């Protein structure tokens, strides 16, 4: 108790913290009630406040680095548990390569590193003494891992080699850092696989992409588009890049959700990853690499969050349900508390992640808004009337709907509601995204749609110079437009359709827009 009081005194007296700009700012008194920015009026500030007040993130004293609190990590772990089990079914094995990279190894694949060099962070000292050779911190692990692939792969019996690692990476970005979305250190999984044939590699690229779709659509309730990146936007070191693309309606920006690359034989050439086939002939391996990161959590907050704070889809919420006692002065307080504890026990036994908030130093109203800010999908209130009627009151976070549930049917009703919330979050997000899609045929329509923050679907000639031209012609303080992906699901492209940007014959429908 003394600890709690002290903490409240401190914050009331003006504690310092680090705000989004990295500058020190004096805190208003911590009332714990709601957010001070709305999602529509100031999206950037709303987002920072949602992730901090929702207790996912704490700002740190190094720009672009954030503390991931248990509320965020628990979401990461749920996705990790799913993905890790799925890749194990595919016979992919986990491993761990070192964080540090020697300069020689880092620069082995020059074309690959060239454009990225400014983002590489280096360790130059130990204590006061300069290191003889500075050491880089991995921005990705191709150059770290592939020398060992070369060593470990000799014959066709060593193939396929399929490894994954769960780790952190560091990219010293300079454009505006945003928690989860663009941070200088982030968590990801990186998969690196090698096959004897291109066909096997091609198949895996799509299997992994399907798992990424599943994470977004089934877990995070976010609609994504599967597709292929343009030559300009693909990973330059690879053969082709596929991705799942999401969209943030509030900012009108596309965001790459995860990528699955076929690297072809480029890295095999560079790192001499060769093998001998059954006939004793020499061959080079075909490789893939693929990753998703903690960015997933940021996309979830941006898509589902509202003016009250976070909105967590039940499938990824650490806590799916919070039970709050609502005692009145003359009521049977002990009876209400007992009903709360019993409700949690019943739900927990049924596999529902539930807890009761029995703290006596906060009012029910304060607790409601606090758990709303944290995005718990379902709230159960138990008051004297509920106790008398052997019922509870359930309140949905996604739409505020209130339902009285008989305690006799508690488990089945709650399960049904959690499923409905999960589905509704996806449906609403899809409806909002679809409302932003604009099909354009001409440059004029394209420019207008871009100004209206649309997700643009346009017929394109698929020429690199034309995409460069689109970028150049749309440059401005909002950032240039670029291709997001060519969706695998292509609408019909009538004969004679022209490219929206060049007027040449169009080859495919491609999504365009500004992006993160
Ligand atoms: C590209 C490619 C690839 C494995 C993935 O997208 C999936 C997982 N890697 C990553 N990329 C870089 O290669 C890169 C390299 C350096 Cl040196 C850097 F500083 C930043 C980078 N960013 C992205």
To test ligand 1's pocket by mutation, which of 100, 116, 117 has the most ligand atoms within 8 angstroms of CB? Answer: 116
Q: pLDDT by residue (tens digit) across 472-513?
A: 999 998 999 999 999 999 999 999 999 999 999 999 999 999
Residue 169, by phi and psi: left (phi above 0), alpha (psi -120 to 50) or beta?
beta
- Is 50 exceeded by the pLDDT of residue 145? yes
> 227 pairs with which residues across the strands?
243, 487
Length of the chain: 516
**pTM of the full structure:** 0.94
Could you tell me which residues come within 8 angstroms of residue 503 by beta carbon, excluding any fewer than 6 positions away?
Answer: none
Quick one: pLDDT at residue 113?
74
Helix 70-89 with 295-304: angle, nearest 10 deg: 120
Class of 440-515 in CATH: alpha beta
d(CA 466, CA 265): 28
Quick one: pLDDT at residue 104?
87
Confidence of residue 29 (pLDDT cuts 50, 70, 90): very low
Quick one: pLDDT at residue 34?
84
Residue 185 contacts residue 169 (beta carbons within 8 Å) = yes
Ligand 1 centroid to 510 CA: how many Å? 24
Phi, psi of 438 (to 5 degrees): -125, 125
* Cis preceding-peptide flag for 254 (omega within 30 of 0): no
Class of 66-304 in CATH: alpha beta
Confidence of residue 229 (pLDDT cuts 50, 70, 90): very high
Q: pLDDT by residue (tens digit) across 382-407?
A: 999 999 999 999 999 999 999 999 99
Residue nearest to atom 18 of ligand 1 (CA): 116
Residue 481 contacts residue 467 (beta carbons within 8 Å) = no
* 472 half-sphere exposure, CB direction, 13 A CA radius: 7
Higher pLDDT, 278 or 114: 278
Q: pLDDT by residue (tens digit) across 241-297?
A: 999 999 999 999 999 999 999 999 999 999 999 999 999 999 999 999 999 999 999
Ligand 1 centroid to 491 CA: how many Å? 32
d(CA 326, CA 331): 10
Percent of residues, the chain, with pLDDT higher than 70: 94
Beta pairing, strands 378-382 & 225-228: unpaired
Residue 290 beta carbon below 6 angstroms from any ligand 1 atom: yes
Residue 120 beta carbon below 6 angstroms from any ligand 1 atom: yes
Question: H or E stretch including 191?
Answer: strand 185-195
Quick one: pLDDT at residue 32?
55
d(CA 150, CA 270): 10
* 276 half-sphere exposure, CB direction, 13 A CA radius: 4
Residue nearest to atom 12 of ligand 1 (CA): 140
Average pLDDT, rounded, for the chain: 93
Ligand 1 centroid to 188 CA: how many Å? 12
Residue nearest to atom 10 of ligand 1 (CA): 140
d(CA 492, CA 343): 54
Domain ranges of the chain: 5-58, 66-304, 321-432, 440-515
Ligand 1 centroid to 136 CA: how many Å? 14
d(CA 150, CA 429): 45
Ligand 1 centroid to 139 CA: how many Å? 6
Residue 173 beta carbon below 6 angstroms from any ligand 1 atom: no
d(CA 33, CA 167): 36
The reply to whether CATH 3.40.50.800 applies to domain 321-432 is yes
Ligand 1 centroid to 291 CA: how many Å? 10
Quick one: pLDDT at residue 40?
97
Percent of residues, the chain, with pLDDT higher than 90: 89
Overall average pLDDT of the 145-174 stretch: 97
To test ligand 1's pocket by mutation, which of 140, 209, 236, 240 has the most ligand atoms within 8 angstroms of CB? Answer: 140
């Amino acid at each position: 108790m003394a600890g709690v009081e002290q903490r409240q005194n401190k914050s009331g007296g003006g504690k310092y913290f680090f705000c989004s700009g990295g500058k020190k700012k004096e805190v208003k008194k911590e009332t714990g009630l709601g957010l001070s920015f709305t999602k529509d009026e100031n999206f950037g500030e709303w987002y920072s406040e949602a992730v901090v007040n929702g207790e996912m993130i704490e700002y740190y004293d190094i720009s672009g680095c954030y503390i991931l609190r248990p509320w965020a990590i628990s979401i990461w772990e749920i996705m990790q548990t799913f993905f890790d089990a799925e890749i194990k079914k595919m016979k992919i094995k986990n491993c761990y390569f070192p964080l540090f990279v020697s300069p020689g190894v880092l620069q082995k694949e020059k074309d690959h590193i060239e454009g990225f060099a400014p983002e590489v962070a280096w360790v130059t000292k130990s204590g006061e003494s300069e290191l003889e050779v500075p050491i880089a911190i991995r921005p990705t692990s191709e150059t770290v891992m592939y020398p060992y692939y070369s060593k470990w792969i000799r014959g066709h019996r060593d193939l396929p080699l399929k490894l994954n690692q769960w780790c952190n990476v560091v990219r010293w970005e300079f454009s505006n850092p945003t928690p989860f979305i663009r941070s200088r250190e982030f968590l990801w999984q990186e998969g690196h696989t090698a096959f004897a044939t291109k066909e096997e590699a091609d198949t895996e690229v799509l299997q992994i992409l399907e798992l990424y779709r599943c994470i977004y659509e089934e877990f995070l309730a976010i609609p994504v588009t599967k597709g292929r990146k343009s030559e300009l936007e693909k990973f330059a070191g690879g053969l082709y890049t596929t991705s799942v693309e999401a969209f943030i309606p509030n900012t009108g920006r596309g965001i790459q959700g995860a990528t699955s690359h076929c690297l072809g034989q480029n890295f095999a050439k560079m790192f001499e990853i060769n093998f001998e086939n059954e006939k004793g002939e020499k061959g080079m391996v075909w490789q893939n690499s693929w990753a998703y990161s903690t960015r997933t959590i940021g996309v979830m907050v941006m898509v589902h969050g509202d003016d009250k704070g976070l909105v967590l889809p039940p499938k990824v919420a650490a806590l799916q349900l919070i039970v709050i006692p609502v005692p009145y002065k003359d009521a049977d307080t002990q009876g209400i508390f007992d009903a709360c504890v019993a409700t949690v026990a019943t739900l927990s036994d049924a596999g529902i992640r539930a807890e009761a908030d029995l703290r006596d130093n906060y009012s029910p109203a304060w607790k409601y808004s606090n758990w709303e800010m944290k995005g718990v999908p379902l709230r159960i209130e138990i008051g004297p009337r509920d106790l008398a009627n052997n019922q509870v009151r359930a309140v949905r976070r996604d739409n505020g709907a209130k339902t009285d549930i008989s305690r006799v049917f508690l488990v089945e009703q709650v399960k049904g509601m959690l499923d409905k919330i999960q589905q509704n979050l996806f449906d609403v997000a899809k409806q909002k995204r679809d409302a932003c899609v604009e099909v354009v045929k001409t440059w004029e329509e394209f420019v207008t749609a871009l100004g209206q923050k649309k997700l643009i679907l346009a017929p394109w000639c698929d020429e690199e110079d034309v995409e460069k031209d689109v970028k150049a012609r749309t440059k401005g303080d909002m950032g240039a437009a670029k291709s997001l992906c060519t969706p695998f699901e292509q609408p019909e492209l009538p004969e004679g359709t022209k490219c929206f940007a060049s007027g040449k014959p169009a080859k495919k429908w491609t999504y365009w827009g500004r992006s993160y």
